[in-house]
Amino acid sequence: MLHPENKEPFNVLFLCTGNSCRSIFAEAIMNRVGAGKFKAYSAGSMPKGVVNPHAIALLEKLNYKTDHFRSKPWEEFSRDGNPDAPELHFVFTVCDNAAGEVCPYWPGQPMSAHWGIPDPDAVHGNDAEIALAFAESYRQLNNRISIFVNLPITSLDTMALQKRLDDIGQTRDAPARTDG
């Protein structure tokens, strides 16, 4: 069973290649939905260096503070890149590219799973189509994170918890409603 030391929140790292959209959404959602129980971070294997303006616009529309979000390298959270990195309990990849990459050594030997979400930044079209793609990515991550934060984490053994984490990544999210 997983128990954070001293009843501190579980530390969760969300990874994506560019750390400009999906992993930023996941960090924001987890810190809101899991407040007190989870502390989320995000990073990228090849960070773009800037958060996508469409992601920032959606988060602001949903009443998130956005001034602290930044696109950063995953070395900030690895033992090799930062000896002061927080001990991680969970690491989730939210894009297929990051899932296939060789990750650094994470402090705390965290549990991990792949929760791939389509890249909204890859959508080309008019403003409404792009906004819909970002909203859909946010919605899918919100659904998966909501399932995760409601798991009885401290009462599941490691194998059962790993299965649940993997199952969340396979969740077939219901399509967004379009009938108003």
Catalogue the active-site residues: 16, 95, 103
> What values do phi and psi take at 62, rounded to 5?
-95, 15
CA distance 169 to 146: 12
Cα gap 108→46, rounded to integer Å: 23
132 vs 16, 20, 22, 89, 128, CA distance in Å?
Answer: 20, 17, 14, 32, 6
**Three-class SS state of 170:** coil
- Give the distance from CA 93 to its chain's centroid: 7
Tokens 């000896």 sit at which residue?
A: 83
List all residues 6 or more positions away from 65 whose beta carbon is below 8 Å from its beta carbon.
none
Closest CA to 11 of 98, 103, 112: 112
